[in-house]
Structure 1
């Protein structure tokens, strides 16, 4: 589903939303649960792109429902994987996920299949093509948001629809999460593209309400 400015939400993916930026240098943001690679590749083809032309996969953070299909996709498409440096040990399985998150791969594997950790994850820079990579720690230590021209692909920093922060019980540091949200909403915003919930046009009404809740 095309949302705005060459950004698509890939239809039918289980887990967190996957976004396809179908620009001259196309790339994916996040990969959903394990076992979603075929659906993602089919969607890329359906919008007229050659999946082998993808320039990379960038991960907003290490949660299973965002990274589940990354290794299978990276292998199939022969493209690199990027994340913020603090997230990489968790994504590659070198550090245990904190709290209840460490048990999720075992709980979901009977339904979706096993998580394959990516063989290589490259640290992302301050820019990814023509998108800013904004450090937004809080939900996880190295969470990022991608921002361009008022569009923010926010991972789990915010949930869509009735815009609100990620739940505290799934958040690594609530104080940092709130500060990251303040930094984001201080920028001009046209669209919030979350990992969960619908893509949401920015409005002064919900921005004001969100700022009051912080």
Structure 2
């Protein structure tokens, strides 16, 4: 049975990290911000323009925190040109419905992710058996239901272009979810990978809290197709990214990767 709770009011979210509430300008126009245990990105240079794009929308009940971040970086009353989603899990769209109550902007996701973002389908519940970590064991309590953004969600163009970011392309990186995508800019080889892979072992509560940096596969408890996930990582590896921001963990660059 589908539960239409766009605002995740009853979410069970007991996990945070030492990086929560902090951000870093990975590049002058790429800002990574950590909301509890998940990253979101603001793409746009505040020194050159007040226009920006938001990639992913953080944890539930973080809308005011995100709007404050936008105000601090771009100024009062500024809203994004659009919102891009790597996928629709609760920790990547948690505050999206609240933000859209004030921001009338287009939201883009892969066409295979649209059923989860129009209230037609739910994700599988978290699997506590995939790993011995405490986050995995808690994962069945995490929200897994779809949300209904029918009035503002649009599919990304089939040709790989990104409507609100002319110099970026999207790459289908399924496995963690059917319509998971990553975003890549060829000119500087900047990669925003979402949860195709992450830079912290997300199943471990200790590693999540301390943000111990290591390259890891997608969060196991929500990943449903490991063959596709492996192929997606290989696809991203072939791009030879110079810098990577993942959905969880700290950004990595150069020899770190």
Same fold (TM over 0.5): yes
- Is the contact between residue 68 and residue 115 of structure 1 (CA under 8 Å) also seen in structure 2? no
Structure 1 CA distance, aligned partners of 2:194 and 2:59? 14
- For structure 2, the residue ranges without an aligned partner over 5 or more in a row are 1-23, 127-138, 200-212
| Cα-Cα RMSD | 2.3
C-alpha distance in 1 between matches for 2:101 and 2:44: 20
- From the superposition, tell whether residues 185 and 49 of structure 1 become closer, same or farther in structure 2 (CA, over 3 Å): farther
Give 1:98's aligned residue.
124
Aligned 1:81-120 pairs, distance under 5 A: 81-100=107-126, 104-105=142-143, 117-119=148-150, 120=152
Question: Larger relative CO (CA 8 A, sep 6+): 1 or 2?
Answer: 2
- Does the Cα contact within 8 Å between 1:74 and 1:80 map onto a contact in 2? no
CA gap of 1:196–1:39, structure 2 versus 1, over 3 A, is same
Deviates more, 1:73-82 or 1:61-70: 73-82
Q: Judging by fraction of residues, say which structure has more helix.
A: 1
Aligned length: 197
What per-residue deviation string (whole Å, max 9, x for no partner) do you get for residues 150-177 of structure 1?
Answer: 1111111111131121143321100111
Q: Distance in 2 between matches of 1:83 and 1:51?
A: 25
Most deviating of 43-52 and 149-158: 43-52
CA distance in 1, matches of 2:77, 2:86: 21
Q: Is 1:22 aligned to 2:56, yes or no?
A: no
User: Residue deviations 1:3-36, cap 9 Å, x none?
Assistant: 114111135x234211100245411010111111
Runs of 4+ displaced beyond 6 Å = none
Cα distance in 2, alignment partners of residues 118 and 102 from structure 1: 24
CA contact (8 A) 2:70 2:79 kept: no
2:181 aligned residue (129, 138, 144): 144
Query: Contact 1:96/1:102 (CA < 8 Å) preserved in 2?
Result: no
2:86 corresponds to: 60
Match of 1:39 in 2: 65
**1:116-172 CA distance string (max 9 Å, x none):** 642431001211122110000111101000101311111111111311211433211
Per-residue deviation at 1:202? Answer: 3.4
**Corresponding position: 1:131 with 2:168:** yes
Matched with 2:26 is 3
Kept in 2: contact 1:136–1:142 (CA 8 A): yes
TM-score, normalised to structure 2's length? 0.70
Quick check: 1:10–1:18 contact (8 Å CA) kept in 2? yes
Candidates 225, 232, 242, aligned match of 1:180:
232
Q: TM-score, normalised by structure 1?
A: 0.83
Partners of 1:57 and 1:50 in 2: CA distance: 18
- Render the CA deviation track for 1:97-124: whole Å, top value 9, x for unaligned: 1233785228xxxxxxx99642431001
